Amino acid sequence: MSSDVTVVLASQSSSRAALLAGAGVAFDKASSGVDEAAVKAGLLGEGASPRDIADALAELKAVKVSMARPGALVIGADQTLDLDGALYDKADSLAEARARLQTFRGRRHRLHAAVVVALDGAPIWRTLESPALTMRPFTDAFLDGYLARNADAALSSVGGYWLEGEGAQLFERIDGDYFAILGLPLLGLLDLLRRYGVLEL
């Protein structure tokens, strides 16, 4: 494949963009325009699991943008949080984030991080990683201080934490791919980009 293949990230996520840029990938960004809440609600109504929802949303974003960007490799990504089979979305308030982190405290949850790459309107590659994260039994005093210092992380990430920041202090154990926890399983994606001549072998 030609090395002038364009890569498009079908996401407005700053963390995903930072991961790609940090790995040396040149790319454009495009919003998919997908109504994620409506799609999630429909899939949940059909009995889809949090894992399936992440995969379906990643594909929908990739394909939708790919149809408008012929010849480009379009990366769609999504991440869902799964606690005992229940799907959690971003908290709407710090009070909700506090209650949620209390629910997660001392328990293990999974982050399902899906990536689908589309070319000319069709998916050509996909991966899904589901790292497991176990929160430590932190005190309410720690939690209140954490939320006071990390309001942005609490409200902008599905779990109420950025693992690359002070959110690391919430955990006692992590099993799985670190990049997937940040929202973009990266190593397989980089391999695909090498195969398409975007990156050097």
For the chain, which residues make up each domain, given as ranges? 7-195
Reported as a single tens digit per residue, the pLDDT across 27-65 is 999 999 999 999 999 999 999 999 999 999 999 999 999
* Distance from C-alpha of 27 to C-alpha of 9, rounded to nearest angstrom: 7
From the list 4, 28, 35, 78, the catalytic residue is 78
3-state SS assignment for residue 200 = coil
The DSSP-derived string for 81-126 is EEETTEEE---SSHHHHHHHHHHHTTSEEEEEEEEEEEETTEEEEE
> Which pTM does this prediction carry?
0.93
b/e map 190-199, b = 16+ CB within 10 Å: bebbeebebb
* Distance from C-alpha of 14 to C-alpha of 28, rounded to nearest angstrom: 13
What pLDDT shows up at residue 2?
45
78 is catalytic: yes
In this structure, CATH architecture of domain 7-195 = Alpha-Beta Complex (3.90)
